[in-house]
Structure 1
Amino acid sequence: MRLLHTSDWHLGQALHNYERTYEHQRFLDWLLDTIVSEQADALLIAGDIFDTANPPASAQRQLYRFLRQARERSPQLDIVVIAGNHDSPGRLEAPAPLLEAHGTSVIGNIVRNADGEIDLERLLVPLHGSDGQVAAWCLAVPFLRPGDVPRGETPQEGVDPYMNGIGLLYQQAFALAQSKCVDGQAIVAMGHCHMVNGESSNDSERRIVIGGTEALSAGIFDPTIAYAALGHLHLAQRVGHNEHIRYCGSPLPLSFAETGYKHQVLRVDLAGGKAAAVTPLLVPRAVELLRVPPQPAPLEEALAALAALDLPDLPHALQPLLEVRVLLDAPEPGLRGRIEAALAGKPVRLAKIEPTRKRDPSNAEAAALSLEQLAELQPDDIFRRLYLQQYGEDAHPEHLSAFAELMLTASHDGGKA
């Protein structure tokens, strides 16, 4: 059978106040065509469907319209959706009874019975081949919080209980799936998590840090598993040297740090209970993200690079989003005005100005402060230290006066300013 693996859509996302609805719709239209052209039997969506736990109505409509159209265009298609750390499990699962009638299984929550035991059955989803018979079982495990993992287990000394619980849950779900397998049926896992040595984009990926640790070992997956479809990291990558444990990555760049990513959906062909082939299908980029200059440069060089931009005349929704990267010696009050003047008349949307300050290592403090020392600092002390760190010189009197006025206003407003 043939699977398509995708994740981290982040529907409803805005990039520095520019909403991405057009780009997301172009991806979803492409994915619909790809489902049909690739003759996919199942679509696995591995979490972070939405960008926030309370997505706008437009993003929710976009998802449900896609699910309806996918089923209409490919009536035999099984669709499995799990919640990611950005998603609200309850909100994602709310329409599940309606979606199940149209071939979509949504797993957002870990459910326990009256005895407190995890309902593992609801995490197992049968996947059907082109002949309509069950060809694989999917372990659809959403993003797990500490309260979601099995209770009462005592891990080995030095092993984090949360991490131990995640591994135990996958083991229990795998054992149940294995008991159901007949005639060479494959077992496929889904998860939304951060694996050991996974390469992340700190600009757009929310870190999953619980109990001071977050990275899982590939050992949570049984060696006989056919494929593990992962979500959370936006860069498409293998886990370790395992061809069958993969992040597909996000379908579009979610920050300027991701402009060089090759965004893709993974096609997975199962045969004989294994992943016979994993093939990237590159997602066309509807809107370009530009970083000018490619590396931070002095202001005059950056302005020259902007003036030299030669871009095609495109409708507003298709115009590139731009990050300007400037290397500064000192604060530049008129920075935005000068950049906007250099871009006047150009078909580009200025999304972000990224100033980088030159730092003098000789002015940096040699040692980090202790917790006791931090507790003794006053707000103006912190302001002075940050100013020195950012600009390599002491804060000017007018800056200190403005900061004092801000703090005074905040105290009068009850800290609401």
Structure 2
Amino acid sequence: MKDSVIRILHTSDWHLGKRLHEFDRSIEYRKFKENLLRTIESEQPHLLLLAGDVFDTINPSLEAEKFLGTTLNEIRRRHPGLHIVITCGNHDSARKIDSVSAYMECCDRLMIVGELPVVYYEENPSVCDVDYEKLIYPVRTDDGKLQALVVAMPFLSTTRVLNLGVNRSHDGSETDYESGVRNIYQGCLDFIRNSEEYKGADVPIIAMGHFFVKSSTLSGSEEDKATDMIGGEQGIGVSVFDGYDYVALGHIHLRQNIGGSRRVRYSGSPLPINFGECEYRNGVDIVDVLPAGSSDDGGRYDIEVVSRVYERAVDFIRIPARRGMAGEEEVLQTLNNMQISAGEKSINELPFCSIFAEYNQENSGFDCIRSYREILDKKIGELSGKAFRLCDFKLIRKEGDGGTVFRQQDVQSLDDISSPIVLASRMYEEVHKGKEMPEELVKLLSEIIEEAENGKDDCSGKSA
């Protein structure tokens, strides 16, 4: 281990309980747990920071909650001296995160913050302010020496931030979200500087946060979040964190430094959450806070980061591998080259597959898109569940000069392929140049199918 002041394992965005198109991902999470335990064993960090989005939903499954509890318990049994700090993300229920400690066999050297702690004014119970003391976690050595201070900041919603007393000016007007967040972070620093316990302590001050920082790089599935301001909140500037020696961020799944400095950083997600992230180098970060010496940005400490990239338990196959649509030759050749598992893999170990195919009549080996689709349906039917798990299948027709106009033809799952209604709708669109089948015709066809199926059941019953 380097002669660091403190070594941090920075991670975030576990999204426990996440399913991909309803496919189970427990094998991937078990592999991540093995990798995480191996990293802790080899790197021997002093501090583990989990910066939000612990779960994928505000109401996670019991299995997801148990997975978190057993993982933390195993870490504590193997490494009782490791400090662990966990904060809430926008996908999490703050109350659920606060209750995680109920799963822990021992809560020593552990801090969990779901709700932003507040204190109400006696003279005005409707106004509250941040309870800064409950956000500060002191990292101490075995002999009690203060090693670092962590500001364990949970996800900050706009409503919560703008309703705090600290964010109201003397005339009672409210400030904007970014200024409010800055007030909270700087308020934590002021509390530390003025606290009798920490006053004058020359140790690294580390902040956690779960935000969209304006200068961050978005990629893949996160591109749309730039306009939505991830999590429904506004973006913040990197200057919000002025005065902190390291900021461990969560929210963006692509690991990166912010503002050209290693001091403010997203660790990224430890495994791809969807196909938009399949090119990411997922894992965790090991952060060494070193004594100042060659700092190039004037910080009190030098920061050195090493990323630990984890091998995936399940592969992601996208046709085409790049973004966009794949032509006939690429789609058919890729499908023909796929190997059916000979029983050595369970269904939950098969790769996830996403297919985006394009039909261009001018360069096609098929006389119409329907003929091409029938071949694709057959090949996908032969391979799905044996060579891969199909997540997306979309076939579009390329029309017009330059290929600028597209019409979506089909399908999102194999359920569509086996549906008579869907197949009939496709044929109707072909004949009527893209027009949808009228509702009354769909209803009539549904009644005919239902009558036929009921007749089939009656016949089978009689023969029995």
- Structure-2-length-normalised TM-score: 0.73
CA RMSD of aligned residues (A): 3.3
Given the alignment of the two structures, is residue 302 of structure 1 paired with residue 331 of structure 2, yes or no? Answer: yes
Partner of 1:127: helix, strand, or coil?
strand
Q: Read off the aligned partner of 1:3 and give its amino acid letter.
A: I
Q: Runs of 5+ in structure 2 lacking a partner?
A: 1-5, 122-127, 292-299, 361-367, 406-428, 447-464
228-237 or 330-339: which moved more? 330-339
Cα distance change on mapping 1:289 and 1:98 into 2, 3 Å: closer
Q: Computing the radius of gyration over CA atoms, which structure comes out larger, 1 or 2? A: 2
Q: Which residue of 2 aligns with 1:139?
A: 151
Give distance in 2, aligned partners of 1:251 and 1:27. Answer: 7
Q: How far 1:276 moved relative to its partner?
A: 3.4
Q: How far 1:345 moved relative to its partner?
A: 8.1
Give distance in 1, aligned partners of 2:271 and 2:239. Answer: 30
Q: Runs of 5+ in structure 1 lacking a partner?
A: 366-389, 410-417
Q: How far 1:275 moved relative to its partner?
A: 4.2
Q: Which residue of 2 aligns with 1:121?
A: 133
Cα distance change on mapping 1:205 and 1:311 into 2, 3 Å: farther
Q: How far 1:294 moved relative to its partner?
A: 1.8
Given the alignment of the two structures, is residue 338 of structure 1 paired with residue 357 of structure 2, yes or no? Answer: no
Q: Which residue of 2 aligns with 1:265?
A: 284
Contact persistence 1:154–1:161 (CA under 8 A): no
Partner of 1:67: helix, strand, or coil?
helix
Q: How far 1:83 moved relative to its partner?
A: 0.5
Give distance in 1, aligned partners of 2:284 and 2:375. Answer: 40
Partner of 2:27: helix, strand, or coil?
helix
Q: Read off the aligned partner of 1:402 and give its amino acid letter.
A: E
Deviations 1:86-136 (A, max 9, x none): 000011102447757242211111122221121111111112346552211
Q: Read off the aligned partner of 2:140 and give its amino acid letter.
A: H
Q: Read off the aligned partner of 1:196 and give its amino acid letter.
A: K
Q: Read off the aligned partner of 1:274 and give its amino acid letter.
A: Y
Q: Which residue of 2 aligns with 1:190?
A: 208
State the number of aligned residues: 377
Q: Which residue of 1 aligns with 2:349?
A: 318
Cα distance change on mapping 1:276 and 1:198 into 2, 3 Å: closer
Q: How far 1:227 moved relative to its partner?
A: 0.6
Q: Read off the aligned partner of 1:260 and give its amino acid letter.
A: E
Deviations 1:11-66 (A, max 9, x none): 00001111211101111121112112211111000000001110110000000001
Cα distance change on mapping 1:205 and 1:404 into 2, 3 Å: farther
Given the alignment of the two structures, is residue 199 of structure 1 paired with residue 199 of structure 2, yes or no? Answer: no
Partner of 2:55: helix, strand, or coil?
coil
Q: Which residue of 2 aligns with 1:279?
A: 306
Given the alignment of the two structures, is residue 39 of structure 1 paired with residue 54 of structure 2, yes or no? Answer: no
Given the alignment of the two structures, is residue 245 of structure 1 paired with residue 290 of structure 2, yes or no? Answer: no
Contact persistence 1:80–1:106 (CA under 8 A): yes
187-196 or 351-360: which moved more? 351-360
Given the alignment of the two structures, is residue 401 of structure 1 paired with residue 401 of structure 2, yes or no? Answer: no
Q: Which residue of 2 aligns with 1:215?
A: 235
Q: Read off the aligned partner of 1:315 and give its amino acid letter.
A: K
Contact persistence 1:137–1:181 (CA under 8 A): no
Partner of 1:243: helix, strand, or coil?
strand
Q: Read off the aligned partner of 1:7 and give its amino acid letter.
A: S
Q: Which residue of 2 aligns with 1:64?
A: 69
- Structure-1-length-normalised TM-score: 0.80
Contact persistence 2:14–2:269 (CA under 8 A): yes
Given the alignment of the two structures, is residue 225 of structure 1 paired with residue 244 of structure 2, yes or no? Answer: yes
Partner of 1:141: helix, strand, or coil?
coil
Give distance in 2, aligned partners of 1:174 and 1:109. Answer: 20
143-152 or 50-59: which moved more? 143-152
Q: How far 1:211 moved relative to its partner?
A: 12
